[in-house]
């Protein structure tokens, strides 16, 4: 079962990279909120035939708060991620995104009302220091705004994945995708109406097909968490730089610098070590019980 989880997680990362690269290419003509709203609308349209075919029998849920929170973190995660790509570059933003697994561990402990493990705390601190040092080497002027929105994206995606993991056992994966798009679209609707974004949808209809990709991305994430535990999936985050590096080179002829690659390897190693320690502690605790 873990194998299926790994396969779906790799597909999730690959599809997310494709979406990110295309949105980055379009970001000079349309802002991130507008881009994500178009994705949500097209995602709902893509899933609507399934809703009709199943007579909406899978849409019955009592956990509306969970979907509202997921929609909120989905918006903040995607919008700040696109802004980070624009501000500090795709490979540098990807480097910061490697903090997501560690933040997921830390925030999961907080929600369980447990103390954050010292190893997790030290790992996060060390990774942040490595990231800041690497970014300082990469640029003459430190981009505080770009780093800030990238960290905001990290926290948002970590919270999103925690809620996603919790709901993956109780809700149909397509209904999860539908409700996430629906609530996200409704949240952005006041901004859309006030800024007359509806008229831009036709002008940027090519972004619409990303809605279908986003559906597949979300579904792959749900299935990954269904078939494998988070400690198995989290270390796969290192593939982000591989996929993003290939995509950036193909579209923008940008190659990850040696310092970014080395920093990525170190941070991934810290991630893997931390998750293995957590796994061993959990196994030892189970044996004692």
- Tens digits of per-residue pLDDT, 127-184? 888 888 887 776 666 778 888 999 999 999 888 888 877 766 667 778 888 888 899 9
The confidence band for 73, taking pLDDT boundaries of 50, 70 and 90, is very high
Terminal alpha carbon distance of the chain: 25
**pLDDT digit string (tens) for 86-105?**
888 877 888 888 888 788 87
Q: Are 126 and 270 contacting, i.e. CB atoms less than 8 angstroms apart?
A: yes
**Residue 213: per-residue pLDDT:** 84
- The mean of the pLDDT values for the chain is 79
Quick one: DSSP state of residue 62?
A: S
Q: Name the token pair of 188.
A: 């952005």
Q: Are 71 and 240 contacting, i.e. CB atoms less than 8 angstroms apart?
A: no
DSSP labels for 124-139? Answer: HHHHHHHHHHHHHHH-
Alpha helices in the chain (DSSP H): 2-26, 32-53, 64-88, 90-97, 100-111, 118-138, 144-167, 173-194, 198-203, 209-227, 230-233, 239-252, 258-288
**Residue 207: per-residue pLDDT:** 63
Q: Are 189 and 120 contacting, i.e. CB atoms less than 8 angstroms apart?
A: no
**Residue 204: per-residue pLDDT:** 59
Closest CA to 61 of 219, 218, 174: 174
- What is the Cα gyration radius of the chain? 19
Cα separation, 86 vs 84, whole angstroms: 5
Task: Judge whether residue 283 has pLDDT over 90.
Answer: no
C-alpha atoms less than 13 angstroms from C-alpha of 237 in its C-beta half-sphere: 28
Query: Phi and psi at residue 227, in whole multiples of 5°?
Result: -100, -10
Contacts of residue 100, Cβ cutoff 8 Å, sequence gap at least 6: 154, 157, 158, 161, 237
Closest CA to 231 of 17, 67, 9, 78: 9
Angle at 26 between CA 7 and CA 103, to 5 degrees: 45
**Residue 76: per-residue pLDDT:** 93
19-55 per-residue burial string, b: 16 or more CB within 10 A, e: under 16: bbbbbbebbeebbbbbbbbbbbbbbbebbeebbeeee
**Residue 156: per-residue pLDDT:** 92
The pTM (predicted TM-score) of the whole model is 0.79
**pLDDT digit string (tens) for 226-269?**
788 766 776 677 777 778 878 777 777 777 778 888 888 888 88
């Amino acid at each position: 079962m873990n194998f299926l989880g790994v396969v779906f997680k790799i597909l999730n990362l690959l599809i997310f990279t494709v979406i990110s690269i295309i949105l980055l290419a379009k970001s000079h003509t349309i802002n991130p909120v507008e881009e994500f709203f178009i994705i949500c609308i097209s995602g709902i349209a893509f899933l609507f035939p399934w809703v009709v075919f199943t007579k909406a029998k899978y849409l019955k849920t009592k956990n509306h708060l969970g979907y509202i929170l997921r929609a909120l973190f989905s918006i903040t995660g995607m919008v700040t991620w696109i802004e980070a790509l624009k501000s500090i570059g795709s490979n540098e933003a990807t480097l910061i995104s490697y903090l997501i697994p560690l933040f997921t561990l830390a925030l999961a402990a907080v929600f369980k009302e447990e103390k954050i493990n010292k190893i997790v705390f030290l790992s996060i601190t060390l990774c942040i220091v490595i990231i800041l040092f690497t970014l300082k080497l990469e640029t003459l002027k430190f981009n505080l705004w770009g780093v800030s929105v990238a960290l905001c994206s990290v926290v948002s995606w970590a919270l999103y994945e925690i809620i996603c993991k919790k709901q993956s056992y109780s809700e149909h994966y397509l209904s999860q995708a539908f409700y996430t798009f629906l609530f996200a679209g409704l949240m952005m609707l006041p901004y859309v109406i006030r800024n007359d974004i509806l008229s831009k949808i036709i002008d940027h209809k090519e972004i619409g097909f990303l809605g279908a990709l986003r559906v597949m991305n979300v579904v792959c994430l749900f299935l990954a968490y269904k078939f494998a535990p988070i400690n198995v999936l989290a270390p796969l985050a290192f593939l982000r730089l591989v996929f993003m590096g290939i995509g950036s080179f193909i579209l923008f002829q940008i190659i990850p610098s040696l310092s970014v690659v080395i920093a990525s390897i170190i941070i991934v190693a810290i991630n893997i070590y931390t998750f293995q320690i957590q796994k061993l502690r959990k196994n030892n605790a189970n044996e004692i019980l």
